[in-house]
């Protein structure tokens, strides 16, 4: 083999001096390594998919986000006419209506996550289609770092906190799989902590008090799943603390006003003023101790969309 012959030629042979001592071979410089190759001709690295398309190429559609809108669009694109490039910090779509069920073990986490490559197979099979696991920090319509012929912004929304102090630090949102994992971990941890000898009744009530702020579909669905979990599992496996665990749903307005009136019994019509590590403070000054706090008061435009100079609707989208 040619590269092996070069290697033996550049390596110094073993030498023995008259003293009988062994002298190790002289190491050759790394600059000689450019001579070696296992291929006949140098092969250029594959293209990264960032370059502008040519006239002979299919137009490239770049989709920012892997949520409902972005995945529905990618699924319906005719990949014989377009190349698809998806840029998103997650490589799957989350089926959010079932996310609450994963918090209490009714469903497994993998049941609500669908890989992007399964939604649009061209991303994992076509040479001109790609998926980039990345956050999009900005949009420069003049200098395209990721070149596109058509750009679709489907970066989703962010949970609304209304500027209430302490929400981001102490509350858990329910929009991603890792949120559901954190809720389940916190719930099971509090059940175990409440079983530690010496824990006071007051501390047990705090640890096992689950507070849900927001009376929309997500908040009501999660409260329902949590109530089923308490009746089905807690009463059987943690019967010694079953009288301490309870759920409170807090909403500023009527809950699900367009839905069945029976759902409104979940409401405590107060607005949260402050969120602290172990309690929330309502607008009337009432303290509500909690062990688990889930925030589901609706969504607003993402930070990325807010920073762009593109025309926006009155709601910021």
Instruction: Provide the pLDDT for residue 271.
Output: 59
In 3D, which of 242, 226, 244 has the Cα closest to residue 184? 226
pLDDT value for 252 = 64
Are 132 and 146 a contacting pair, CB within 8 Å?
yes
What residues contact residue 57 under an 8 Å CB cut-off, 6+ apart? 83, 128
Residue 110 CB-half CA count within 13 A = 0
Q: Which domains are seen in the chain, by residue range?
A: 60-156 (3.50.50.60), 167-298 (3.50.50.60)
Contact 103, 182 (CB under 8 A): no
For residue 307, the 8-state DSSP code is H
pTM for the predicted model, two decimal places: 0.72
Averaged over 67-81, what is the pLDDT?
A: 94
State in Å, rounded, how far the first CA of the chain is from the last one: 63
* 222: pLDDT strictly greater than 80: yes
d(CA 51, CA 84): 14
Percent of the chain's residues with pLDDT above 90: 43
**What mean pLDDT value characterizes the chain?**
79
307 contact partners, CB below 8 Å, separation of at least 6 = 138
In this prediction, residue 299 carries a pLDDT of 79
Average pLDDT for 170-187: 94
Judged by DSSP in three states, 60 sits in strand
- Structure-model confidence comparison of residues 315 and 262, the more confident one: 315
Q: Annotate 263-306 with three-state secondary structure.
A: HHHHEEECCEEEECCCEEEECCCCEEECCEEEECCCEEECHHHH
**pLDDT value of residue 15:** 46
Work out the average pLDDT over 24-40: 41
**Gap between the Cα atoms of 205 and 194, Å rounded:** 9
Phi, psi of 303, deg, nearest 5: -60, -40
d(CA 192, CA 249): 23
DSSP for 133-168 reads E-------SSS-SS--SEEEE---EEE--TT-BTHH
Strand partners, 86: 63, 131
- With a cut of 50, say whether residue 14 has pLDDT above it: no
């Amino acid at each position: 083999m040619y590269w092996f012959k070069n290697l033996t030629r550049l390596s110094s042979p073993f030498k023995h001096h008259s003293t009988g001592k062994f002298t190790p071979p002289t190491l050759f410089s790394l600059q000689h390594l450019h001579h070696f190759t296992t291929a006949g001709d140098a092969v250029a690295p594959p293209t990264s998919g960032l370059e502008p398309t040519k006239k002979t190429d299919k137009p490239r559609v770049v989709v920012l986000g892997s949520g409902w809108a972005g995945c529905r669009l990618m699924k319906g694109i005719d990949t014989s006419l377009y190349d698809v490039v998806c840029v998103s910090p997650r490589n799957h779509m989350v089926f959010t209506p079932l996310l609450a069920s994963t918090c209490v073990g009714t469903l497994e986490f993998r049941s609500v996550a669908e890989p992007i490559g399964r939604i649009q197979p061209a991303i994992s099979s076509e040479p001109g289609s790609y998926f980039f696991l990345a956050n999009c920090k900005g949009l420069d319509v003049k200098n395209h770092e990721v070149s596109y012929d058509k750009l679709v912004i489907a970066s989703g929304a962010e949970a609304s906190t209304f500027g209430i102090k302490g929400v981001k630090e102490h509350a858990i949102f329910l929009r991603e799989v890792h949120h559901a994992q954190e809720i389940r971990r916190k719930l099971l941890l509090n059940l175990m902590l409440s079983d530690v000898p010496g824990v006071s009744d007051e501390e047990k009530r705090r640890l096992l008090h689950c507070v849900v702020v927001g009376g929309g579909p997500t908040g009501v669905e999660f409260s329902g799943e949590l109530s089923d979990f308490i009746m089905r599992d807690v009463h059987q496996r943690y019967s010694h603390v079953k009288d301490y665990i309870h759920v409170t749903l807090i909403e500023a307005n009527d809950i699900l006003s367009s839905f069945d009136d029976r759902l409104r019994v979940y409401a405590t019509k107060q607005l949260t003023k402050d969120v602290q590590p172990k309690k929330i403070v309502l607008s009337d000054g009432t303290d509500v101790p909690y062990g688990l706090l889930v925030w589901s008061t609706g969504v607003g435009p993402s930070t990325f969309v807010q920073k762009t100079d593109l025309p926006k609707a009155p709601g910021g989208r």
